[in-house]
């Protein structure tokens, strides 16, 4: 497999700027691994100090959000060119928390994916089913709908560089991880869908992460699966344990 693994932390709404710099320093010796892309997706206010703090390391910085316009009268928002200028490389798009709490729908997320790519950011595009959907047996139907809508009109060369994160909503922050077989099944389903929409080389290139209560105890088993190329880590990214996930 030629895909480079990618372990990303999603700090969510945690860490003040000074706490953020402290965490980066603490993690520095623990996340050294040239075989893996390591990313910290941090709150907007932490971006500038964290970009500074990771200089000279193998860590790259991601944002958790941005708005689809480049500039203008959008009080409170941050644009993709602003992120790029600040040294951000990745951006999370379509996280279930933004879909649920901030009502971001697939039409809007499709615009975000296109804007991020246009600006030179790598999207980490999230998808995932609720417990109810899993129990109804519509997991893959739902995820196919999300991915198809979010990637509508995106060129295959751009999809090759994309990261897709499969995050079952019932596994986020619950301590309940999908089994490695469940996670592999959906990640493979996503790769098959990319092959269907685009072609085999695009599907082979796109990196697919698993996210949802991933930690030092379960990372190795999840990452051993052929279609799981990395992880998007919430809670465990805020402590020394993140180093063990990177090295799993
Ligand atoms: P947890 O690892 O805390 O379950 O969060 C996963 C997640 O939502 C990452 O984006």
Q: What single string gives the DSSP state of each residue in 158-204?
A: HHHT-EEEE--GGGTTSS-PPPHHHHHHHHHHHHHHHHHHS-HHHHH
Q: Report the C-alpha gap between 111 and 216 in whole angstroms.
A: 35
What pLDDT was estimated at residue 39? 98
| Ligand 1 binding pocket mutation candidate from 65, 93, 165, 167 (most atoms within 8 A of CB) | 167
What pLDDT was estimated at residue 66? 98
What pLDDT was estimated at residue 177? 87
- We report the CATH number of the domain holding residue 155 as 3.20.20.70
What pLDDT was estimated at residue 173? 87
Q: Count of domains in the chain? A: 1
How far is the centre of ligand 1, averaged over its atoms, from the C-alpha of 32 (Å)? 22
Q: Report the C-alpha gap between 142 and 87 in whole angstroms.
A: 34
Q: Report the C-alpha gap between 87 and 27 in whole angstroms.
A: 20
Q: Report the C-alpha gap between 236 and 194 in whole angstroms.
A: 29
Residue positions annotated with a catalytic role: 95, 167
How far is the centre of ligand 1, averaged over its atoms, from the C-alpha of 73 (Å)? 32
Low-confidence residues of the chain, pLDDT below 50? none
What pLDDT was estimated at residue 176? 85
Structural domain containing residue 152: 5-246
């Amino acid at each position: 497999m030629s895909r480079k693994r990618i372990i990303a932390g999603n700090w969510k709404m945690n860490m003040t700027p000074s706490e953020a710099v402290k965490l980066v320093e603490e993690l520095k010796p623990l996340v050294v691994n040239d075989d893996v892309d390591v990313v910290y997706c941090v709150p907007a206010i932490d971006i500038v100090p964290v970009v500074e703090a990771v200089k000279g390391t193998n860590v790259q910085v991601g944002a958790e959000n941005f708005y689809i316009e480049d500039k203008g009268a959008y009080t409170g928002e941050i644009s993709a060119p602003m992120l790029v200028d600040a040294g951000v490389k990745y951006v999370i798009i379509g996280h279930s928390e933004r879909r649920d709490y901030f009502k971001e729908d697939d039409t809007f997320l499709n615009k975000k994916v296109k804007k991020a790519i246009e600006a030179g950011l790598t999207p980490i595009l999230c998808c995932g089913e609720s417990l109810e959907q899993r129990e109804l047996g519509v997991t893959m139907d739902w995820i196919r709908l999300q991915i198809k809508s979010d990637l509508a009109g995106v060129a295959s060369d751009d999809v090759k560089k994309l990261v897709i994160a499969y995050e079952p909503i019932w596994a986020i922050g619950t301590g309940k991880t999908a089994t490695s077989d469940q996670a592999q099944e959906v990640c493979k389903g996503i790769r098959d869908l990319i092959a269907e929409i685009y072609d085999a080389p695009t599907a082979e290139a796109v990196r697919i992460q698993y996210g949802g209560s991933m930690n030092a105890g379960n990372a190795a088993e999840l990452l051993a699966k052929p279609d799981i190329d990395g992880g998007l880590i919430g809670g465990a990214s805020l402590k020394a344990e993140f180093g063990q996930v990177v090295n799993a």
